[in-house]
Amino acid sequence: MQGFQRAAWMAPLALATWCAQAAVPTSDEHLARQLQARVAGDRTGVCVQAAVIDGSAVRRAQACAGTRASPAPDAGAAFEIGSVTKTMTAYLVADLVARGAWSLDDPIEKHLPPGTTVPRQGERRILLRDLLTHTAGLPPVPPGMVVRDPADPYAAVDEKAVLAPLATLALTRPIGSQAEYSNWGMMLVSLAVSRALGEPVEPALRRRLFEPLGMAGAWVTPPAQAKAAQGHLPGGQPTPAWTIAPTLAGVGMVRATVDDMVRYLRAELGDGPPEVVARMRMTQQPLAGGFAMNWGVLDRAGRRVLAHEGGTGGFSSVAMFDPASRQAVVLLADTALSDLGGLGDLGLSLLGLDVPVKAPRVEQPVPPELARAMVGTYQAGPLQLRITAAEGRLMAQATGQPAFELAHDSRGDFYPRGFSALLTPLARAPGDGPVQRFAWRQGGGLQEAVRIGDGAVPPATGPAPAGQDWAGRYALAPQFAITVAYANGQWTVQGTGQPAIPAQVAGPDQLAIPAVGATVEFVRGADGQVTDAVLRQNGQTLKGQRAP
């Protein structure tokens, strides 16, 4: 969390886990209805342009929430695709590997400026493949990164800001052991690619990818007569475009139209110049941590889907495809939705996978009883947040910052008017007393806040019953883990970016989660210690190791 203020960072893949029915659209009208069901009346005001590739057919549609005054983006407008750009940078890496200039097992320092100090662990160095799979152990952004303008947070980031912190970074886990999404890591790859090709990322992409595929509307720096979609904050306020140093743009600065992305995904499915398709297939091969070369690899219902979501200060995007079925989906939204969960649920549904498509978020009055339960002071990291009620409104103020109003929506979440963030109540005192904890999502980060002072109930954790040593964190997929906890005599299971859900003991080494119709089974090693967790729901299974 970047403080209780306006801030945003490029978002990784974030997909729903709980399952429901879905269908691949059979016509443009069918696709339009599916989009409309997802966004109509949504408080964000979002407009979404979409295309679904199904073999040789392409369905296209646009839908808008209808809750903001500004117009829908023009057909053919270029959207910021955010971190989907990383898959294009991976293509440039694959091209270098195919030409024999690079190897995925090259230490990244080999391709950075001479004298650059890169952290290592004994003889184990950070390799190119570690950065492409987000397993290098680097944090999301460079330590000490200067943000002069929260509306354009990367504008002040240059090569020095990316390289200098490497010399003092202490890695906290073994290189290659765990996936943790890092924009910093891909800034290093972008810089290395630029150095190898002798030019910034944009001209390299234009000559080696955009022009061969006919992606005439894709760019980083707007050309003459460029038609750019306007980005928005949730709530409909326009927000500026993002910028970064040209050699670092491979981290997430490409703009593209829906038609450009259709051409891109068609090539990923094998329909393109043979040399381009060969490089793309190289990027699709699984490497580590649930990643190929920047594509998340998702195994669902016997299908293998490659996917990436993107998010910037004013846009959200999804690109995903199933090579075996020759199906693909692109979603481009003119509003920042990363803090609200993105559009991964809709993308997977449009591929015909059984995931829930979330209902639109509609603004609703705050129930008086809930408003009273929210009032109080909370500690979130180094900050305190005071929530008060006055004249029928909930107001919040962080230490040293201006007060802002908290509105309420149909999913039970609160959100500030005027900037992008989300507050989800997590726990209340017995008898529906004061809210004790809430989750604060902002800029792609998640911070838990705990009530302090009046109304605070001290946690009574205590030991779990004998034989129920299940508490811990289990990584089940790229960017998705569950945290199993025991407190106040209650087991809970909490997915990444989701509130904790009550669970019940259902048998030896098994928890049931009635609210979502799921179970978690725990696997023990030869020494009797819990090593893995298996999440089962609606016929699907996800298994992951317990974190140390």
Q: What is the CATH number of domain 472-546?
A: 2.40.128.50
Q: Three-state DSSP class for 362?
A: coil
Judge whether residue 471 has pLDDT over 90.
yes
8 A C-beta contact, residue 309 and residue 344: yes
| Between residues 123 and 428, the one the model is more confident about | 123
Q: Which amino acid is at 300?
A: R
Gyration radius of the chain over CA positions: 23
Q: What is the mean pLDDT of the chain?
A: 90
Query: Which tens digits make up the pLDDT trace of 255-281?
Result: 999 999 999 999 999 999 999 999 999
In Å, what is the CA distance from 118 to each residue of 182, 191, 251? 15, 14, 19
Each residue of 296-328: pLDDT tens digit?
998 877 899 999 999 999 999 999 999 999 999
Q: What are phi and psi of 81, to 5 degrees?
A: -100, 0
pLDDT at 21: 45
Q: Sort residue 371 into left (φ over 0), alpha (ψ -120 to 50) or beta.
A: alpha
The domain segmentation of the chain, as residue ranges, is 28-350, 363-452, 472-546
How many whole angstroms separate alpha carbon 439 and alpha carbon 73?
Answer: 33
Distances (CA, A) of 282 to 87, 278, 287, 477: 12, 6, 10, 21
Please state the length of the chain. Answer: 548
363-452 and 472-546: identical CATH topology: yes
Q: What is the pLDDT of residue 18?
A: 34
Q: Quote the pLDDT of residue 467.
A: 85
CATH for 363-452, options being 1.10.10, 2.40.128, 3.30.70, 3.30.450: 2.40.128
Banded model confidence at residue 538, pLDDT cuts 50, 70, 90: low
Instruction: Tell which wins on pLDDT, 453 or 294.
Output: 294
What pLDDT score does 14 carry? 38
What CATH number does the domain located at 28-350 have? 3.40.710.10
Measure the CA–CA gap between 455 and 21, rounded to whole angstroms.
42
Q: What is the pLDDT of residues 396-411, one digit of tens each?
A: 999 989 999 999 999 8
Task: Please report the pLDDT score of residue 279 as a whole number.
Answer: 98
φ/ψ of 177, rounded to 5, equals -90, -25
